[in-house]
Amino acid sequence: MNGVHDMGGMHGMGSVAREAEEPVFHERWEARVYALNRALAALGKWNIDASRHSIERIPPSDYLRMSYYEKWLAGLVTRLEESGLVTRAELESGRPAPGAVKATPPLTAERVAATPTERDWFERPVNAAPRFAVGDRVRAKKIHPTGHTRLPRYARGNLGIIDRTHGAHVFPDSNAHFQGENPQYLYSVQFSARELWGEEAAAHDSVYIDLWESYLDPA
Amino acid sequence: MDHDHQDLPSDPALRVMALESLLVEKGLVDPAALDALIDTYEHKVGPRNGARVVARAWVDPEFKKRLLADGGSAITELGYATQGREHLVVVENAPQRHNLVVCTLCSCYPWPVLGLPPVWYKSTPYRSRAVIDPRGVLREFGLDLDKDVEIRVWDSTSEMRYLVLPERPAGSGGMSEEQLAELVTRDAMIGTAKVTLTGAQR
């Protein structure tokens, strides 16, 4: 979707504000939101692409106003409701529905200790051969999907060169909507800064973007 | 859809407390697992991991080759990918080439080697500008690169994660791997700084 989250190349956002000796979390509730997101993901009711899409659907004015973990919280509440894990009535009352069966949490402290940086694996075996090879010229499609996509607007319609192949990966555009993983080849595509931004850009600079095969046409 | 959720208290701290309590009562989360998840990234996993990877690459050319060929496998040698693999690409700086990592669409960041990202990395100014004005962004970080230096910006749009292998600073020849790791900052591994002998601003 052409949301405000797709902000590469936008102007007017100001300078980059840094904080010396920044803590990992500024408030305890941020840490809890972070951990709730990780722990609830283990239930398998959604995937990382659906998570991202729940945050992208935050209305633009709210998206720009909210802090990072406020967005994580809003996305989480959306997913809890949409997945049916929690009902609106439960959110309103703060109590489980009468007669609700208590579940068993899938993520335990022991599992966290054993695999502290546990992360899903997204590469999948496929039968097809890659359509493109390193060095091939490609053009990012000019498309405007209304659902989730990882093809940034600033790349669309532009000419690039295949820099490397990452193998076949889960396709976010379908996975985010629970329409299957549909793995396809993923490439790192080099776009010259001048192709993306015009002649004012530095001659030698490039942006490398990871793009799935169906985002690309031969050129 | 209603994203405002007025039903939960408006103060985030109270809202989160109410939500956690509901989820615990429903048996969906274990508070001890939440504590362990927080402890991992507050105390165990952070940029020191990445710094050790960089220092190893500086002193061990064979490791560096493996790291650049398949970063996700190479970091398992230092124990940083507990699944035995990780989607990680390491990109190397050189005198005429500077790499910079961003995620314009959200906040993708190489957690196993750098921990959780700083606020600025997730901020709208950095996400919007790193791809269109990398030189301006780098100047704000105090890095004024010569126009002959090629800048490669890596937009993390997939599950692949990117780590910058900075240049080893001149004059560090006599230093041990451990001393070298002390010089390597988080920002140098994102690409918004270089490693210096006096470095260690993290």
Residue B201: predicted pLDDT: 45
- All structural domains of chain B: 12-43 (no CATH), 46-190 (3.90.330.10)
Distance between CA atoms of A162 and A160, rounded to whole angstroms? 7
Residue A19: exposure state from Cβ atoms within 10 A (0-12, 13-18, ≥19): exposed
Q: Quick one: which of A191, A74, A26, A210 has its CA closest to B120?
A: A26
A169 interfacial to chain B (CB closer than 8 Å): yes
A61 touches chain B (CB under 8 A): no
For residue A200, what pLDDT is reported? 94
Q: Which of A6, A210, A216 to mutate to test the interface with B (most CBs of B within 10 A)?
A: A210
> Catalytic: B128?
no
- Which residues are within 8 A (CB) of B181 and not within 5 positions of it... i.e. 6 or more apart? B48, B51, B52, B54, B55
The pLDDT assigned to B1 comes to 44
Most B CBs within 10 Å, among A5, A86, A205, A209, to test the B interface: A205
B107 is catalytic: yes
Determine contact: A109 vs chain B, CB below 8 A.
yes
pLDDT digits (tens, 9 = 90+) for A93-130: 999 999 888 999 999 999 998 888 888 899 999 999 99
The residues of chain B scoring below 70 in pLDDT are 1-10, 82, 199-202
Contact B26 A43 (CB under 8 A): no
Domains by residue range for chain A, with CATH: 28-114 (1.10.472.20), 137-218 (2.30.30.50)
B172 is catalytic: no
Do the Cβ atoms of B27 and A212 come within 8 Å?
Answer: no
Secondary structure of residue B136 in the 3-state scheme: helix
Of B21, B73, B108, B123, which is the active-site residue?
B108
CA nearest A5: which of B191, B153, B104?
Answer: B104
Tell the residue number behind the tokens 């690169």, with chain if given. Answer: B145
Q: What tokens appear for A39 in the block?
A: 């722990």
> Out of B106, B123, B128, B176, which one is annotated catalytic?
B106
The secondary structure of chain A as a DSSP string is ---TT--TT---S------TT--S-SSHHHHHHHHHHHHHHTT-SS-HHHHHHHHHTS-HHHHHHS-HHHHHHHHHHHHHHHHTSS-HHHHHHSSPPTTPPP---S--HHHHHHSTT-----B---SSPPS--TT-EEEE-----SS---S-GGGTT-EEEEEEEEEEE--HHHHTTTS----EEEEEEEEEHHHHH-TTS-TT-EEEEEEEGGGEEE-
**Smallest CA–CA distance from B36 into chain A, residue:** A109
The answer, yes or no, to whether ipTM is higher than 0.90 is yes
pLDDT at B8: 59
pTM value is 0.96
pLDDT (tens digit per residue) in A13-56: 999 999 999 999 999 999 999 999 999 999 999 999 999 999 99
Listed by number, the residues of chain B in 161-190 with a beta carbon closer than 8 Å to a beta carbon of chain A are none
Q: Are strands A137-140 and A159-169 parallel, antiparallel or unpaired?
A: antiparallel
Based on the residue annotation, tell me whether B103 is a catalytic residue of this protein.
Answer: yes
Distance CA A49, CA A176 (A): 4
Beta carbons of A122 and B15 less than 8 Å apart? no
Contacts of A115 in chain B (CB under 8 A): 82-83
Distance (Å, whole) CA B45 – CA B40: 6
| B151 part of contact set with chain A, CB < 8 Å | yes
pLDDT of residue A159: 98
| Interface A-B: count of C-beta contacts within 8 A | 280
Average pLDDT over all residues of chain A:
96
- pLDDT tens digit string along A128-150? 999 999 999 999 999 999 999 99
Closest CA to B81 of A113, A24, A116: A116
A200 touches B: beta carbon within 8 Å: no
The residue from B21, B73, B103, B156 that is catalytic is B103
- Packing angle between helix B31-39 and helix B12-25, nearest 10 degrees? 130
Q: Which of residues 16-55 of A touch B (CB under 8 A)?
A: 16-22, 24-29, 31-36, 38-40, 43, 48, 52, 55
Residue type at A108 in one-letter notation: T
